[in-house]
């Protein structure tokens, strides 16, 4: 005796099919995009940088492969170096840095989980900071805001400029 499958069962079977067999949508069709863009502006006594993405949390960062961490730091340093050149940003010998995170969703955030270690390293590699040690850098507490359409990370740098020697900035 043959049992005829109803359309109801075939639809259920298709729903229960393994994920690999289901039709997948390209990630770019489903992913939300921010309206923010890379930008650098001079402000009185310093520079404002806009990074059009949220920085990865330390929990995300520690779970990345070391190669992915390295690629991310290099990409961030290159982008910040280009922004610094376009904005004519100086190099700071002593600086104060404040990071403002604009997230899509209003939620309590753990400040320690969004420590800007790799961001400060990228600013040093980009030539905007001489060094990120505690004697030369004052890191102000991070702020958290909500912007549903243009989530981003804003970095404010201001302080004492590095001395210029022979037309170039002295790194020592």
Average pLDDT over residues 59-73: 90
Predicted local confidence at residue 169, as pLDDT:
45
The predicted model scores a pTM of 0.71
Average pLDDT over residues 73-94: 88
Are the beta carbons of 101 and 114 closer than 8 angstroms?
A: yes
- Residues present in the chain in total: 172
138 closest CA partner among 172, 82, 98 = 98
Per residue in 131-142, pLDDT (tens digit) is 888 899 999 998
Other C-beta atoms closer than 10 Å to the C-beta of 172 total: 8
Predicted local confidence at residue 155, as pLDDT:
93
| pLDDT confidence band for 154 (50 / 70 / 90) | very high
Are the beta carbons of 135 and 93 closer than 8 angstroms?
A: no
Q: DSSP strand E in 104-172: where?
A: 137-139, 143-146, 152-161, 164-165, 168-169
Chain centroid, CA 146 distance in Å: 15
Q: Which CATH superfamily is domain 34-169 in?
A: Holliday junction resolvase RusA (3.30.1330.70)
Per residue in 95-106, pLDDT (tens digit) is 999 999 998 887
Looking at residue 73, the DSSP 8-state letter turns out to be H
Residue holding tokens 């020697």?
A: 165
Judged against a pLDDT cut of 80, whether residue 52 lies above it is answered with: yes
């Amino acid at each position: 005796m043959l049992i005829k499958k109803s359309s109801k069962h075939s639809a259920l079977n298709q729903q229960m099919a393994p994920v690999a067999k289901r039709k997948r949508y390209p990630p770019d069709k489903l992913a939300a995009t921010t309206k923010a863009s890379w930008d650098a502006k001079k402000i009185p006594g310093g520079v404002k940088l806009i990074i059009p993405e949220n920085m990865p949390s330390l929990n995300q960062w520690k779970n990345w492969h070391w190669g992915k961490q390295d690629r991310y730091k290099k990409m961030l340093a290159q982008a910040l170096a280009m922004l610094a050149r376009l904005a004519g940003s100086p190099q700071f010998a002593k600086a104060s840095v404040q990071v403002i995170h604009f997230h899509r969703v209003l939620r309590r955030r753990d400040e320690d989980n969004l420590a800007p270690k790799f961001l400060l390293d990228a600013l040093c590699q980009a030539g905007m900071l001489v060094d990120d040690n505690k004697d030369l850098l004052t890191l102000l507490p991070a702020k958290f805001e909500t912007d549903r359409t243009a989530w981003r990370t804003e970095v404010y740098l201001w302080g004492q400029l590095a001395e210029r020697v022979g037309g170039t900035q002295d790194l020592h």
